[in-house]
Amino acid sequence: MKEVIDKLNKAFENRIRLGIMSALMVNDSIDFLALKDLLDVTDGNLASHITALEKLDYIQVTKEFVGKKTRTSFAVTTLGRKEFNYHLNALEKLVKRNRK
């Protein structure tokens, strides 16, 4: 079991990061306000988790102007998709082992 647990990615242990990645895996991109509402978190809390995932190159952040307002949106990177799938597969193996 230890070898399966060792395959879990610490970057996804937090529920907010798990939520961010889950939302991005099923959407091409999502903007800050939609993600904030979906996860029911504060601006600062979401921003700190976004920064952590961006530093790992798991998500891409895009800032653009819509009229005079800034719009920030996020998308999962190829590396982020690969690492998140790897994490989910490890979780699945862990669950299956504990069912026996």
The predicted pLDDT at position 100 comes to 58
- Report d(CA 27, CA 90) in Å as an integer: 23
Identify the CA nearest to 18 among candidates 58, 55, 57. 58
Q: 3 versus 86: which is more confidently predicted?
A: 86
- Cα 9 → chain centroid: 11
pLDDT band with cut points at 50, 70 and 90 for residue 66: confident
CA 57/CA 41 separation, integer angstroms: 22
Give the mean pLDDT of 93-100.
Answer: 77
| Averaged pLDDT score across all residues of the chain | 92
Taking alpha carbons only, the member of 70, 67, 69, 24 closest to residue 49 is 24
Q: Which residue shows structure tokens 């798991």? A: 58
